[in-house]
Structure 1
Amino acid sequence: MGQTHSSEQRPQTPVTITNPSYPPAEELSHRLAERFADQSFNGVELYSFKDNFRTLADVQKSETGRGRLLYWSEDTLIKFLAIPDCLEVGAILFRAVSYIGAFPFPSLAPVVLDFEALVKIVVILTGRYKSVIRGRRPDSLRLLFRSLAVYDRGVRSEGEGDGGVEEGKGKVVDMDFSLEDEGDEEDEDDLSLAALDALDAIEVFEHTEKSDIHHARIPLDNLRKLIVFLLVIAPLEPNQSIAQFADRLTPDALVGVRGAAECILRGFRCKDEKGVLYRDFKPRIKKALPIMFTPLAPLFEHLLFSKKVDMSTATPSNNPEPPIPLLSTEGQIMDLNLLSQLSFFIPGTHLWRRLRLLYAGSEAGFSMGSFETKVLKWAAPTLLLVSGTRIPFPTETHAQQAFLDRIPSKKYPPPLGTQHTGRLVFGAFLNVPWKLSRKDCFGDAQSLLFQLEPMHEVFHASRASAEYAYFNKDDGIGFGSPMQKLKNHQYHYNQGFLNLGPVSLTFDHSLEYGVFQNTGNGGAYHSTGDADYYSRDAFEIEEIEVWGCGGNSEAEAQRKAWAWEEREALLRTQITLGKDPEADRALLEMAGLVGQNRSGGSMS
C-alpha cells in the first residue's frame, strides 16, 4: 500500500507536534490507513478498491513538478455512488466524508479525498474499523456528528481578532466541523483517541487534538435531507445500485418519504431552528434510531466491487426468477416508507422481504375472535401497528366520553405534534409468539413499543416489570400495562379506571378505542427520560395490522398448528356428529370449538 503514495504529495498543513519523540501526524495517519486496508479488506476487495480509485481519480501536479496527487473530486464521488440529484444530499455527504477522511486528526479537516482518505472513509462508514481498533469499545457516533455539524466561528468576543468585533455582532465568515463535548459521558470513547491508542500513540491526542470550540450543530435542513436519503436507501444491499429504487424518487413518492422524515426529525425535539446539538443527537440516535446510518455501509462498499472482477455466483438462466418485493403487500398503515422508518431501529433481517400480513381489522373485522384466529400460533416475531385519530375535546359521542371516563384523570400537557391534525401511528414489536391468557402477560426483553407518527419515538423493554403484553377477549390488548382482570365480556366502561402502565399502549376489548401514555419509568418499558415530554393520547382506532416476520415456512407451521388444535378440540368434545359435515361444523362453531369464534381449546 505504501508504494501507492511514493510519488504523491499531501496538500494539508501537518499538525504540529512539539514533542520530538512523537511520530508526525502524517506518519500516524499513513500507518492507520495502511493497517485499515491490510486488516479490513480481503485481497479481492483491496484490488477492486485500488482499481476503482485509480480509474476515476483526478491528478493534481505539485508546484515543483516532481510529484502528483491522485484524488477524487466531489463530482467523481457522487457519480460513482449514483447519488440522485433530486435528493440534494450530494454536497452534504461529500462534506461529511471530507471530515472523516482526516481521521484521526480532525484539525486537518476537510481533506482531499486521496487514496488513504478514502480507505479510512470506507472502513469507518462500513464499521470495519472494529477489527482494527479493539479494547476500548470505540463509538463512531461522535465522529459522525462532527462530520455533519457546522459551527459559526465568525462571532468573536470584544477585543478579539481584527480590531475587536463587538460580541454578538460578528458575521458568518466560515463554517467548521468542530464539536463541543458538553458533559459527554465517560462510557463513550472518542474514536480518534481509540485509534491513536491502537497505534501506541495516545499521547499525541493529548497534545494536538484538544479544542475549545463550542456550539456545533447539524443544520435542520441538512439533517432532513440526509434522513430522506437514508429512508430511500434503507434496503440497499452491497453492490446494489440506488437506481433500483427509482420508483421511490418520483415527485409523488418523495412526498411520502419526506413525510416520514418529518416524523423522525420531530423526534429530535429541536427547540429552535438553528440545528441539532450533540447532546440531543446522541440520545435520539442511541434510543430511537440506533441503526439509521446502517445503509451507509453497503453504499460505501461499492468501492470494494470492481467491474473487472466478476464476483457473481449465480448460474445463467434463460428465465430468471423475478426479484422478491421488499414488501409483499401494502396495508392501510404499512407501506415502504413506514417499513424504512422501522428499519432504523429494527434489523432489516426481520423486515425486508420477510413480512406477511396476518391480520388487518378492516378486512378480518375488529373483533378479538378474528384477531385470535389470525395471529395466534405464529411462531416467529410480530409487528403490531395501530392508526387512529385523537378523541376530540369536547367529545362528540357517548362512546368516546365513556372511554375517556375510564382513563385516570391526571392531566398531562399536549403531546409534541398536537398541532399535527393527521393520524397517529403507534406499534409494538414482539419477539415471542402471542399468548391468550387471563393470568399471565407475555413478551421478553426484546419487546419494543414505538410511535411513528406524528413523532418518531421508541421505548425499549425494561426489567422493572414483565408486563410486556397481554391478550384476552375480556381485557383486550395491552402493552406495558397490567392485565385489567375483567370478566365475561361485560360492557365495562363503568367498571372503574383502566390500570395503565407508565409507558403503555392499551386497547379496549372491542378494538374501538386505544390510549397511549408516556408518564415515566417503573413499568415494562423505559420512558424517554424527559418529563417535559410526558404525554397521553386517547384515540379512536381506524386500523390495526399485525405483520408476521417470516415466510412460507412460518405460515405453513401456523396452519398446521391450527389444524392440530381443531382435531384436539374434536376429540375433547362429547358431541355426537352426524353424516352432514357442514351441519357438524356449524354445531362445533356454535360450541366455540372451531371456526372464527373458537377458543382454541382450554385457556391458560
Structure 2
Amino acid sequence: MGVGQSTEHLGHAGNPEHLSHVLAERFATKCFTPLELTHFKDNFFSRAIDQGGMKYWNEKILSDFLGIPDSSDSHCPLDAGPVIFRMVSYLGAFPFQNTLAPSVLTFEAMVKVAVLLTERYGKVLRRARKDRIRLLFGSLADVGRRDVGGPPGDEDVHKETGDSSAAKSHVAGFEVDAPANDNYEDEDEDDDDLALAALESLDAIDVFKHDSRIDKKVYEARISVATFRRLLMLLIVIAPLKTLEPVDTYTSDLNENRMESIRKEADTILAAFNIEDSDGGISYRSFANITLNALPYLFDPLTPLFEHLLFSKNLDLTKKNGSGATVTDTVEKPPDNPPSSPSTIMLPGSFESTILKSSVVSHLSFFLPSPTSNVNLLRGNMRLHSVFSTAAHGSSLTSFSHHVLTWNSGTLLLLEGAVSESSEHGERMVTLGAYLPQPWKSAPLSHSSTKPSDSSALPCLFELSPKHQLLQGNPSPSVQKPNSPVAYFSTSTGIAIGCQIPAPSRSQQLKPMPLGAGSLTIDANLESATFYVSPIGHNGVFLPPATTSPSEQTVKRQIDIYTLEIWGLVPEPSDASSAEPR
C-alpha cells in the first residue's frame, strides 16, 4: 500500500472499493508509527499468499500467526480460529460492510482490522468506543431474512480453503448492520457515527449512505449462542495476555479440568444474555446493553492479541544501516524455550484461594477496574494479596476485623456457598462478590471523596455464578449518607454491604436493612448470607443490574456460606509495601 497517494480529489464518484483502500491508507499513516508500519508490512507480506498479484491471508495463516487454536489443532479443544477469522473478514470491509463484507484479508483490510481491534482509532474516529460494540456485533451475528419471498441465503461464515476464495474481491455484503425490531430507532442517528467520521474528510458520505440503505424492518440479526460461547472461551483463556506475550503461554496447557472450568465460566457469562429467552440467538439490544453496562472490558484481550501484528521477529533492530532496521531472516524462527508459565495475579500470602481459579480471574477482569485507573484489573497490573479466609482464619468477626481492618487499601470480597433449601434437584451453588476500592475502617465505610465520574473509585456488587450480574456503584452524591455506608460490620449484627444502618437502640437489636437495588448481609458467625437484588431503586449504594428489567421481581436469596475470602488490592507490584498491614 503506497502511503503517499493523494486523496484530495476523490469527490463523490469514488466507489466503495477505492474509498476503502484510501481509508486504510489514512488509518495506516495516522494510527501507526513508521516503525510499527514497517513491522506490520513485514509480518503480512512475508506470510501472504500471492494469487494473480493479490496478496492475502487465509484462515490458517491468521490463526497460526496469532497463535489461536483451530480445528487443525487436534490436541487443543479450543476451536476459536474460525470465529476470529469470521470477525476479521467482516471488520476488514469497514465501513462498507453491506457491500464488501466478508472481505478478502488483503493488507488494506488487515490495517483496518488492526486499528479497530487494538483501539488505535482515536486519531481518526469519534464515538469509537460505543460504535466498536456495534461493529463487533456485526462481525459475530448470523444474518436472517423474514417475510421475504426468496430462500434463505448461504451461511454467512466466510471460510477460505487454500487459495480458492482469493479471487473474490467483491462479494455480497452482510445485512447485519441493520438489526431489525430491536426498538433502537432512538439510536439510528448515532449508529453510523464511526463510519461517517471516517469518511467525512474523504468527501464520501453519499457513497456510504447508499451502501447503508436497508429496510430495518425486513432484516434481523442475532449472534448464535454456539459462536459466542467459542469466542468467550478464547477471551477467558487469553484475558491475562500482555502486549507481545506469546499466546501459547495460555493455550498450551488446556487440560480437561481447565477446559471444564473455562466452559463453566463462559456459561455463567452467557446466562447474563438471557439465552433461554433469546429466540435463537443474542440480539443487538441485549448484546449492547450487557457488554456496555455489565461487561465493559469483555473484548479487551483482543487488543494485545492483534498488537502482535505490529512486531515482527524477522526484523533485527540491533543492526542499523542507512534505512534503519533490516530483515535478517524471512522465516520466523521458533522459540528456543517452551512456553513460560502464566503469571499470576495473586501475591504470595497466608492462604491459597479455593475460589480464584484462573478462569474466575479472567471473568473478574471483564468488569472490574484497576483501583488506580479506568482499565481492567489485569491491564492495570493490579495484584491481589491474601487478607482473610474462613478456611484459614476461622469463622469469627474477631478474626475478620483483626485481618481486614489492618489492611490499608481497597479489598475484594468473594463468597461461595449454596442457596438454602435449593430444591429437590439438589444443591445450587452460587458465587458472589463485592469490589470495595476504599479501605475498611472501624466506622462505616462510605464513598470516597474521589469524583463520582471516576468509575474505578466506585464500589460494585456482583454475582459470578450461576449467572453473571453486576450492580455498579451509584455515582450520585445524594446517596452518600452516614447511615447508608458502602460496607459496615459489627460484632452483633455481622457484615452489611449496601444497607441502611438503623440508629442505635437500647431496647432492641436492629439489623441493617437493604437499600436501593442491591445489598449483601453476612451474619455474625460468617455462616449465612442474604443477597438482595431489585430491578428498581436508585437511592442506594448500588444501581440495578443491566441484566434485569423493571418488570422483574425483587430476588432475595439465603445462602449457606462455604468459603468467604477477602483479598487486598495492590495497584502495582512495586507498591505492595505501601498496602501492607498497618
Which of the residues 528, 549, 552 maps onto 1:513? 528
Give CA-to-partner distance per residue, 1:113-152, whole Å, 9 cap, x none. 0000000000000110112114787621000000000112
Which amino acid in 2 is paired with 1:354? R
Change (3 A) 1:292 1:200: same
**Following TM superposition, by how much is the alpha carbon of 1:273 offset from its aligned partner in structure 2, in angstroms?**
5.4
Question: 1:39, CA displacement in angstroms?
Answer: 1.3
**Which residue of the partner structure matches residue 447 of structure 1?**
459
Q: 1:245 to 1:26 in 2, by over 3 A?
A: same
From 490, 504, 528, the equivalent of 1:472 is 490
**Alignment match of 1:243 (pick from 233, 240, 248):** 248
Q: What is the TM-score when the length of structure 2 is the normalising length?
A: 0.78
Q: What letter matches 1:80 in structure 2? A: F
**1:109-128 alignment to 2 at 5 Å?**
109-128=101-120
Task: Give the 3-state SS of the residue equivalent to 2:513 in structure 1.
Answer: coil
2:270 maps to 265
Which amino acid is 1:90 matched to? G
Residue 223 of structure 1 corresponds to which residue in structure 2? Answer: 228
In structure 2, the partner of 1:540 is: 560
Shift of 1:203: 3.2
Aligned partner of 1:375: which letter? V
Q: 1:436 to 1:296 in 2, by over 3 A?
A: same
Quote how far apart the aligned CAs of 1:431 are.
Answer: 1.3
Distance across 2 between alignment mates of 1:260 and 1:456: 9
1:47 offset after TM fit, Å?
0.5
Correspondence 1:69 to 2:69: no
Q: Give the 3 Å change call, closer, same or farther, for CA 306–195 of structure 1 in structure 2.
A: same
Relative distance call for 1:248 and 1:465 in structure 2 (3 A) is farther
The Cα of 1:369 is off from its aligned counterpart by 1.6
Q: 1:3 to 1:45 in 2, by over 3 A?
A: closer
Counterpart Cα distance in 2 of 1:419 and 1:203: 60
**CA–CA distance in 2 between the matches of 1:276 and 1:431?**
33
SS in 2 for 1:152: strand
Paired residue type of 2:199: L
DSSP 3-state at the match of 2:142: coil
The 1:322–1:54 alpha-carbon spacing in structure 2 relative to 1, beyond 3 Å, is: closer
In 2, Cα distance between equivalents of 1:516 and 1:361 = 19
Aligned to 2:322: none
SS in 1 for 2:220: coil
- Is this contact kept in 2: 1:327–1:352, CA < 8 A? no
Looking at structure 2, the residues matched to 177 and 223 of structure 1 have their Cα atoms a distance apart, in angstroms, of: 19
Q: Which residue of 2 aligns with 1:461?
A: 473
Q: Is the 8 A contact 1:515 1:538 kept in 2?
A: yes
Q: Which residue of 2 aligns with 1:500?
A: 514
Give the counterpart of 1:428 among 415, 421, 434: 434
User: Are the aligned partners of 1:220 and 1:273 in contact in 2 as well (CA < 8 Å)?
Assistant: no
- Which residue is 1:404 aligned to? none
Q: Could you list the per-position Cα deviations for residues 200-228 of structure 1 after superposition, in whole angstroms to 9, with x for gaps in the alignment?
A: 43333323212225220000011111101
| Structure-2 change in CA distance of 1:365 and 1:138 (3 Å) | closer
Aligned residue for 1:215, secondary structure, equals strand
- The verdict on how the C-alpha distance between 1:516 and 1:322 changes in structure 2, with shifts beyond 3 A counting, is closer
- The answer to whether the 8 A contact 2:3-2:29 is kept is no
1:530 aligns with 2:549: yes
Superposed CA deviations along residues 42-66 of structure 1, whole A, max 9, x for unmatched, are: 12110110001110000111xxxxx
| Number of the residue aligned with 1:56 | 47
Task: Please give the alpha-carbon distance, in whole angstroms, between the structure 1 residues aligned to 2:59 and 2:5.
Answer: 21
Counterpart check, 1:299 vs 2:305: yes
Deviations 1:505-553 (A, max 9, x none): 1112222211111112222111025132642211111111111121676
1:287 equivalent in alignment to 2:309: no
CA contact (8 A) 1:389 1:423 kept: yes
Q: Secondary structure at the match of 2:500?
A: coil
Separation of aligned partners in 1, 2:394 and 2:11: 77
1:28 is aligned to 19
Please list, as runs of the form range in 1=range in 2, the aligned pairs for 1:563-578 lying within 5 A after superposition: none
SS in 2 for 1:87: coil
Conserved? CA contact 1:378–1:555, under 8 Å: no
1:197 matched residue in structure 2: 200
Shift of 1:496: 6.1
Q: Secondary structure at the match of 2:17?
A: helix
Give the count of matched residue pairs.
496
1:425–1:453 contact (8 Å) kept in structure 2: yes
Q: What's the CA shift string for 1:344-367, capped at 9, x where partnerless?
A: 012134875611111111111122
Matched, 1:43 2:34: yes
Secondary structure of 1:36's aligned partner: helix
Structure 1 unaligned spans of 5+: 7-18, 62-67, 162-169, 313-320, 395-417, 562-604
Q: Quote how far apart the aligned CAs of 1:197 are.
A: 2.8
Contact 1:224–1:265, Cα closer than 8 Å, also in 2 = yes
What is the root-mean-square deviation of aligned Cα atoms in Å? Answer: 3.0
Q: Is the 8 A contact 1:59 1:70 kept in 2?
A: yes
CA–CA distance in 2 between the matches of 1:248 and 1:422?
A: 30
- Does residue 139 (structure 1) correspond to residue 154 (structure 2)? The answer is no
The structure whose residues are more often strand, as a share, is 2
Contact 2:144 2:219 in 1 (8 A): no
Secondary structure, counterpart of 2:41 in structure 1: helix
Q: In structure 2, what is the equivalent of residue 308 of structure 1?
A: 314
TM-score calculated relative to the size of structure 1: 0.76
Q: Deviations over 1:70-102 (max 9, x none)?
A: 000111101111112321111111011101000
Classify the secondary structure of the residue corresponding to 2:305: helix
- C-alpha distance in structure 2 between counterparts of 1:135 and 1:38, whole Å: 20
Deviation for aligned residue 1:192: 1.7
CA spacing shift, 1:5–1:20, aligned 2, 3 Å: closer
Counterpart CA distance in 2 for 1:326 and 1:130 is 30
Q: Distance in 1 between matches of 2:575 and 2:399?
A: 19
The equivalent of 1:255 in structure 2 is 260
**Gapped runs of 5+ residues in structure 2?**
71-76, 157-173, 319-339, 369-375, 453-457
Q: Which residue of 1 aligns with 2:161?
A: none
1:375 paired residue number: 404
Paired amino acid for 2:202: L
Aligned to 2:419: 390
Mapped partners of 1:189, 1:337: distance in 2: 34
Alpha-carbon deviation of 1:487? 7.2
The whole-number CA distance in structure 2 between the counterparts of 1:419 and 1:453 is 17
Deviation digits for residues 276-313 of structure 1 (CA, Å, limit 9, x no counterpart): 0001111110111111100001111111110123579x
Letter of the 1:72 partner, please give it.
W
- Structure 1 residues 21 and 253: CA distance shift in structure 2, 3 A: closer
CA distance in 1, matches of 2:128, 2:581: 49
Amino acid at match of 2:468: H
CA gap 1:237/1:393 in 2 versus in 1, 3 angstroms: closer
| Alignment deviations for residues 447-483 of structure 1 (CA, whole Å, 9 cap, x no partner) | 1111001001111111252332223333322221112
1-side partners of 2:431 and 2:549: how far apart?
21
Measure the CA separation in 1 of the matches of 2:292 and 2:461.
15
| Aligned equivalent of 1:65 | none
Bigger shift: residues 446-455 or 175-184: 175-184
Which residue identity lines up with residue 527 of structure 1 in the other structure? P
* 2:389 is aligned with 1:340: no
SS at match of 1:478: strand
Instruction: Name the residue aligned to 1:180.
Output: 179
